[in-house]
Amino acid sequence: MSSTKQLLKKLKQDVEKYTPASQIVGEVFGLVEGFESPHDFHQNYGRKTIGDCYQFCKKTQQYKKVNKPHTQLLVASALPFLLTSRVKAPWGGRSGAKTQSVIRILVDLSRVKTIKIFCLRHIAKSLKESVCDEIIDVIDGMGHGDEYKFIDREFTNISSGSRFIFGGIKGNIRMIKGTYGVDVCWIDEAAGLIEKEYEIIANTIRKDHSEIWLTWNPEFETDFVETRFRHNKDLPDFEKCWQMPYWENPLFPNVSLAGMLKQAKVNLKLYQHIWEGEYYQNDAEMIKREWWGFFTDFTNALAQCRLIFITADTAYTKNPLNDPSVACVWGYTVEGKLLLLAMYRAFKEFPPLLKDILNLYDKWDLRDRGIKFKGIYIEAKATGLSLVQSIKSKGKIARAWMPAHYKYPIDKVGRVNESAEFVMDQHVLLPDHTLGGEHAFSKQMIDECSNFTDDDTHNFDDIVDNLTMAISIARILRKTLTLKKR
């Protein structure tokens, strides 16, 4: 018996027992029976929706008609979510549709049954750092926005009474222990989860028939989720762990294909880590010197900027053996390029550092020349937060930058991995340092990025931090400015 037939047989048996999923199980069953594997399903129907498959089945009269076909997108590799299991733990690289599949299934379940869904991320100190925004996007995209209300940090389905609640794991164990009555607990970005945290969650989610779902992109082979689930040869029958790769995602975005293939050609290890979900392997250069693009006409480059913003990673010290304070001025062009316009690097304590940052701010606030100015983004650590408050007190625009606010990895190596593709595609341009003069600072950017390693053996990484901050902001700008243009 093939794996898919076993799956379908199990679905039949569980359709009534599994409280939330009966409607979806029945609809999906009528569409996939007869295929030998999820991959076969994908190969036969490619970029189709379940609704499209239903119409095909109806025309060929190969399958029985179901009363209310499920017309939302559902990738075949997500089918194990519909089985009755205490734990469901899919892993994979980028664009495997893990997050989208989970959200779509949970939204559907919340519309037909009264359930409580606890959405967790390892680090989520605020609602913005949670998976809340992604759920909003999916609900709106499915056309169900009017069915939900948002009150007191929770989503509630008006008809069914189902609730989505959100939280972070790190630093919030007491809150998690006090949560009860959960039907499905979903831990997104679970790669950083440790054993003690998981055991507390597993002991807290104890309602009859409750489930724990984990999704993650692999980082290191020694991570808890890898040893506990992926490589556990004694994984019990009521726990399921499987791969959701991009090549089994019929909804794989065409826009990602060119960048993915280019990355595979230029940096195979990075491609395997980001896209195929392989473990990260150290490369001598995570951001290679030959990837950088340059501009030579500074005046013309500045004229192409739609807006300007500043990033900063600060440290209050005069000791050159410690980390310096670094600030970079960036221009964002009409073509969506990120230009490095200026750099500040110094070892200074708070009062003189604040004075220098304010001078840099005033110099590059070019709104009187018709260029929008977004102010300064400062990494949200102890020194940075006090600087943000001081700048705001002067009536200026200052924001505390946190990676989760921009859907960027929490760890620095992960942020550099994300940024490498942006640099490789030459979406970041530096002033040509070979011309010398005042723009020679771009060589510092190239050298520090080239010397950055994942084992923390490099000397400094403050310029690298500014680069990853700027790219995270540019990605959001690209999305928001495109929407405004439309």
User: Which of 33-47, 56-70, 283-297, 463-477 is least confident?
Assistant: 56-70
pLDDT tier, 282 (very low <50, low <70, confident <90, very high otherwise): low
* In the block, residue with structure tokens 């390892």: 122
Residue 41 has pLDDT above 60, yes or no: no
Check residue 12 and give its pLDDT: 43
Backbone angles phi, psi at 274, to 5 degrees: -75, -45
Grouping H, G, I as helix, E, B as strand and the rest as coil, residue 186 is strand
Kindly report which listed range (46-50, 289-293, 342-346) carries the lowest average pLDDT score: 46-50
Asked if the model's pLDDT at residue 72 lies above 50, the reply is: no
Contact 305, 371 (CB under 8 A): yes
Supply 144's token pair. Answer: 């169900």
Report which residue type is found at 73: L
Identify the structural domains of the chain with CATH numbers, from first to last.
1-76 (no CATH), 85-252 (3.40.50.300), 282-485 (3.30.420.240)
Cα separation values, 484 from 134, 362, 473, 478, 481, Å:
20, 28, 16, 10, 5
Q: Is the pLDDT of residue 133 over 80?
A: yes
Q: What is the pLDDT of residues 354-380, one digit of tens each?
A: 999 999 999 999 999 999 999 999 998
* CA angle 432–353–396, rounded 5-degree value: 85
Q: What is the pTM assigned to this prediction?
A: 0.57
pLDDT confidence band for 197 (50 / 70 / 90): very high
pLDDT value of residue 28: 38
The stretch 10-25 carries a mean pLDDT of 38
Mean pLDDT of 67-74: 40
| Tokens standing for residue 355 | 């004075």
- C-alpha 454/C-alpha 412 separation (Å) is 8
Tokens of 464: 């690298």
Residue 249 has φ and ψ, to the nearest 5°, of: -105, 100
Q: Are 462 and 313 in contact (CB under 8 A)?
A: yes
Reported residue count of the chain is 486
Q: How far apart are alpha carbons 223 and 229 in whole angstroms?
A: 10
State the pLDDT at residue 117.
95
Residue 105 has pLDDT above 50, yes or no: yes
